[in-house]
Amino acid sequence: MTAARAGERAGLPAQPGPDGGTPTQTWVDAGLQLPELDLTTCPELVVVGAHPDDETLGFGATSALLAGYGVRAQIVSATDGGAAYPELSLLRRYRLEQTRRAELRRAAAALGLYAPISLGLPDGEVALHEQRLADLLVEILDGKPAGTWCAAPWRGDGHPDHEAVGRAAAVAVEQTGAVLLEYPVSMWHWARPGDTAVPWSRAHMTRLTAAALECKQRAARCFESQFSAPILGGEPALPPAAAHRLFTVGEVAFR
């Protein structure tokens, strides 16, 4: 997730917490009661992210669980996340993209997944390449077992790249035998329990194990570039409070 854009939504919380988002405790106190996501119906998993770390933060523990059950699971990253720090020069942005690709490979291994596919679309401009992304996802999903899960960021997530990837994934599953699951990332920062902008009626929550959560945390720690700003005195792309929120709220998928 490129956190600089995580709040790009009209529905930002009216009284955000001190870390700039809905307080984690608000979600904890809500005690979301959602149907359990039935992992036994997944023959294979393709997890699509807009940026390296989206898949880990939004669906990483679920992916690790499925991989542990013997399900073939692989990450597809639309961009290399080069716009995480817009102030970087072109050369430093290029180096950041290479760093984030390497971080994604380490994170996939930590989750027990196959080596990821990096598509290299421009960070911050995925909507301009949406049809190309949909075509690439069709190629990836073609030949997969019927009912393969394609997990992608929710189309209402509030981040333009996340939403563009979600739309492209929706188009791709219509042309293949895949099943679309949409996982939120930015939503946990701007929404509140019961928010009418969120399709709670389609929401399912994974019953996570301690081992799966540890896999997610270990994978997230691979994204060192997002936890420390490359510019002295700058803000990290993923502040500690935002990361803590995403580790605490659990994992939800809209079906």
Residue 2 and residue 124 in contact, taking contact as beta carbons nearer than 8 Å: yes
| Residues 178-220 pLDDT 10s | 999 999 999 999 999 999 999 999 999 999 999 999 999 999 9
Cα 209 to Cα 64, 145, 183, 196, 203: the distances in Å are 10, 27, 18, 29, 19
Longest dimension (CA), the chain: 50
| pLDDT score, position 230 | 84
Name every residue whose Cβ is closer than 8 Å to that of residue 146 and which is 6 or more positions away in sequence: 43, 177
CB 24 within 8 A of CB 243: no
Looking at residue 26, its pLDDT comes to: 96
The CA–CA distances, whole Å, from 230 to 89, 90, 106, 161, 200 equal 11, 14, 20, 22, 38
Q: How far apart are CA 101 and CA 43, in angstroms?
A: 27
Q: 151 has which bridge partners?
A: 47, 181
Residue-wise pLDDT tens for the chain (255 aa)?
Answer: 543 333 333 333 333 444 579 999 999 999 999 999 999 999 999 999 999 999 999 999 999 999 999 999 999 999 999 999 999 999 999 999 999 999 999 999 999 999 999 999 999 999 999 999 999 999 999 989 999 999 999 999 999 999 999 999 999 999 999 999 999 999 999 999 999 999 999 999 999 999 999 999 999 999 999 998 888 778 899 999 999 999 999 999 999
Separation between Cα atoms, residue 215 and residue 110, nearest integer Å: 6
142 Cβ contact list (under 8 Å, min separation 6): 176
How confident is the model at residue 231, as a pLDDT? 81
The domain made up of 40-254 has a fold known as: Rossmann fold (3.40.50)
Report domain extents, the chain: 40-254
Between CA 132 and CA 121 the distance in angstroms is: 9
Rg, the chain, Cα only: 17
Residue pair 201/58 in contact (Cβ under 8 Å)? The answer is no
Strands (E), 53-192: 72-79, 114-121, 149-153, 179-183
